[in-house]
């Protein structure tokens, strides 16, 4: 209409000012009639073409805006690592297009529940019922008891080839008069893209759960296999010793009987340690491991651990390097005794019988660093961190009996003290375990 009006006004102005008689809307010469019609036709054609070009430019800008919106959503979804991040990306991009509150409903146990939503969204039971209808029927639904509210609330189902997996709820803000056709089309595209992202997140979550179940099954299998073997070995030895003693063979002298009893006692201690490790592991898994710290002399703790290993140490040299003025360390005596028992026991098992074991300690800033080193074959670089995992055993450790729980329990006990444990290979041979414990208690904020 502006183009038509401009063409007519242009022709009238030409006639009034430039065609005789001047300053009048009359034409005396017939040739000017054709001129005026020609000018009118040209103006109409040019105006119509200009109007079409303007409409095309507007549509192009709208298409560009829609493409940019879809690109932003795709980029946000691609950067979303978890399920919650996917939902937040959908909410953010929908709110950038429409002035509205956004909510996302997802099925939980077959029932549609609100997964995430803006504070002002009317997530009441009637609205939830309408969202459930949209989910069950796979169709868009409008919410609210009256026409005005129905125009402001929409529920769009997230559709995938496998079915509906959720519902997107929109509640237009105060002053909004509904969605335009372009907004409707863009929202449908966003909903389709969001549905694919939610399905991908669901599949990733299912895959993670399956992987966790597989790892749990592997751990259980490793536990049953390792524990059954390690429990059976001392039990067989104890049972065999008791059977021999019960037979009261006259050929057994006192020295042999004493040796059998000592062997049974050692195996019983070993069995007791395995059961104790399992109990400690259970407490750590349940979060019920209670540490009671008090200042302890490090030499006393190490001495108690060495006393339990006296028979296994034999003539092996234990080289202690602890300063006389070394401060007392806040720790749970019995639990830290288990830690050093395991570390010293490992050093004995994985090093030659004629090689020494080095135990040293020093103060570094506000922490005590205790090192237990051996002169064995060392640890493969790829195993230096993995040896603290539950049931994990390095390849070189396979010929040696064990459950793979000792170092894992050590790590748990030390971390419960607020410390840490690391392993490193020595420059010449063997490996060293470094335990770091804080010398000062951390005060909890009141």
Q: What is the H or E stretch that residue 56 is in?
A: helix 30-79
Ramachandran bin of 21, using left for φ above 0, alpha for ψ from -120 to 50, beta for the remaining angles? beta
Q: How far is CA 369 from the centre of its chain?
A: 32
**Confidence (pTM):** 0.49
Report pLDDT for 224. 65
Report pLDDT for 397. 47
Q: Is 349 helix (H, G, I), strand (E, B) or coil?
A: helix
Q: How far is CA 388 from the centre of its chain?
A: 21
Report pLDDT for 446. 38
Q: What is the H or E stretch that residue 74 is in?
A: helix 30-79
CA distances from 310 to 205, 269, 303 (A): 51, 13, 10
Q: How far is CA 355 from the centre of its chain?
A: 45
Residues of the chain with confidence (pLDDT) below 70:
62-67, 69-70, 79-81, 143-151, 173-180, 216, 219-220, 222-230, 251, 277, 284-288, 391-404, 441-446
Q: How far is CA 306 from the centre of its chain?
A: 42
Q: Give the chain's length.
A: 446
CA distances from 158 to 31, 188, 195, 289 (A): 68, 9, 5, 46
Q: Is 251 helix (H, G, I), strand (E, B) or coil?
A: coil
Q: Whose structure tokens read 């183009």?
A: 3
Closest of 302, 311, 399, 375 to residue 342, by C-alpha: 302
DSSP 141: E
Q: What is the pLDDT of residues 125-152, one digit of tens each?
A: 888 888 888 888 888 887 544 555 555 7
């Amino acid at each position: 209409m502006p183009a038509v009006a401009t063409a007519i006004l242009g022709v009238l102005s030409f006639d009034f000012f430039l065609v005789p008689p001047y300053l009048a809307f009359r034409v005396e010469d017939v040739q000017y009639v054709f001129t005026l019609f020609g000018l009118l036709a040209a103006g109409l054609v040019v105006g119509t073409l200009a109007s079409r070009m303007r409409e095309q430019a507007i549509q192009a800008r709208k298409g560009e805006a829609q493409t940019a919106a879809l690109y932003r959503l795709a980029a946000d979804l691609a950067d979303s690592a978890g399920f919650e991040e996917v939902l937040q990306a959908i909410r953010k991009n929908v709110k950038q297009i429409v002035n509205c509150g956004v909510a996302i409903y997802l099925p939980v146990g077959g029932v549609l529940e609100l997964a995430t939503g803006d504070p002002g969204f009317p997530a009441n039971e009637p609205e939830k019922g309408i969202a459930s209808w949209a989910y069950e029927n796979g169709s868009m639904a409008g919410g609210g008891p009256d026409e005005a509210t129905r125009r402001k609330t929409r529920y769009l189902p997230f559709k995938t080839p496998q079915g509906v997996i959720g519902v997107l709820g929109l509640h237009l803000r105060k002053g909004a008069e509904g969605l335009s056709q372009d907004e409707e089309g863009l929202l449908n595209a966003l909903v389709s893209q969001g549905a694919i992202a939610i399905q991908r997140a669901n599949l990733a979550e299912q895959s993670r759960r399956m992987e966790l179940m597989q790892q749990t099954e592997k751990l259980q299998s490793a536990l049953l296999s390792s524990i059954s073997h390690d429990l059976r070995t001392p039990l067989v030895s104890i049972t065999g010793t008791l059977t021999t003693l019960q037979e009261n063979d006259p050929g057994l002298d006192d020295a042999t009987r004493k040796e059998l009893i000592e062997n049974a006692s050692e195996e019983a201690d070993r069995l007791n340690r395995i059961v104790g490790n399992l109990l400690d592991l259970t407490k750590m898994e349940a979060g019920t491991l209670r540490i009671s710290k008090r200042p302890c002399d490090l030499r006393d703790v190490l001495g108690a651990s060495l006393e339990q290993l006296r028979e296994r140490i034999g003539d092996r040299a234990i080289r202690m390097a602890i300063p006389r003025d070394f401060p007392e360390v806040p720790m749970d005596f019995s639990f830290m005794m288990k830690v050093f028992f395991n570390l010293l026991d490992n050093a004995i098992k994985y090093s030659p019988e004629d090689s020494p074991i080095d135990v040293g300690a020093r103060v570094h800033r506000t922490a005590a660093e205790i090192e237990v080193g051996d002169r064995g074959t060392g640890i493969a670089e790829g195993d230096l961190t993995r040896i603290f995992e539950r049931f994990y055993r390095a390849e070189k450790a396979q010929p040696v009996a064990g459950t793979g729980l000792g170092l894992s329990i050590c790590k748990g006990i030390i971390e419960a003290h607020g410390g840490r444990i690391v392993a490193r290979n020595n420059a010449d041979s063997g490996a060293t375990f470094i335990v770091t414990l804080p010398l000062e208690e951390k005060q909890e904020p009141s």
